[in-house]
Amino acid sequence: MNHLLIIDPQNDFCDIAGAALPVAGADADLQRLSRLIQAHGAHLDGITVTLDSHASVAVERTTFWQTALGDAVAPFTFITAADVRAPTYCPRDPAHTTVVVAMLEQYPLSEHFGVFEADAPAPDVASTQFNTPLAQALTCDVDLLLVAGEASSHCVAASFDQLAGYLAKSLGPQPRIVVLRDCMSPVTGFESASQAFFERVQAFGAELMTAAEAGALLA
């Protein structure tokens, strides 16, 4: 069975007009992926597509926070539960204060860069735990797993690392994993992280291919 995993291919990550977080090269990446699906989709038994979703007032956004004096909070400011208790920083909506303190104590890095689990899983928060059913759907009885999406420096890399960790513990048959290197691009400034990801792919025993090369596998 052949399966295609497409990680976060939303318009906001494409370098097109109106995109919120454009990744240079992403539009061309997904055009190549689209042509692969159009040409060889009949030989794919399944396609899984993920979505990187962020509410405008999510806890990782500056729009959620203000200083104790009501001023704006600078991007990349690190905020702890102690900061909120002080308060040095506080939610713009006072009703969120109690739940935010609890969240920061449980899993301060609650971002989901990888599609399988949060960066800092909390034992008592199911949504942060490893998504075993998804991993099983992508690997059980799957002969070939193709991986594409955005961005190679962040979400694709984190997702692959999480899946590789799962497979490293698995005793059953494992799929042939092919990462489509020309169907993903790095966030500008993180090219070295993307290259390091490609090196981890090969070290794990997975393969790097172009869409054209993968098409030959499906033909």
pLDDT of residue 110: 60
Whether 155 has a pLDDT exceeding 90, the answer reads yes
pLDDT of residue 50: 96
Q: For residues 23 and 106, what is the distance between their CA atoms, to the nearest angstrom?
A: 32
pLDDT of residue 81: 87
Q: How confident is the model at residue 123 (pLDDT cuts 50, 70, 90)?
A: confident
> Which two tokens mark 128?
């942060």
Whether 134 has a pLDDT exceeding 70, the answer reads yes
Angle separating helix axes 26-40 and 211-218, nearest 10 degrees: 10
How distant, in Å, are the alpha carbons of 2, 53, 69, 109 from that of 13? 26, 11, 34, 22
Beta bridge pairs of residue 67: 89
Q: How confident is the model at residue 109 (pLDDT cuts 50, 70, 90)?
A: very low
Whether 27 has a pLDDT exceeding 70, the answer reads yes
Distance of CA 87 to the CA centre of its chain: 32
Whether 117 has a pLDDT exceeding 70, the answer reads yes
Whether 107 has a pLDDT exceeding 60, the answer reads no
Q: Which of 42-46, 49-53, 123-127 has the lowest mean pLDDT?
A: 123-127
- Average the pLDDT over 122-138 and give the result: 88
Whether 133 has a pLDDT exceeding 70, the answer reads yes
Contact 30, 156 (CB under 8 A): no
Domains, the chain, ordered by start: 2-52+129-218 (3.40.50.850), 62-106 (no CATH)
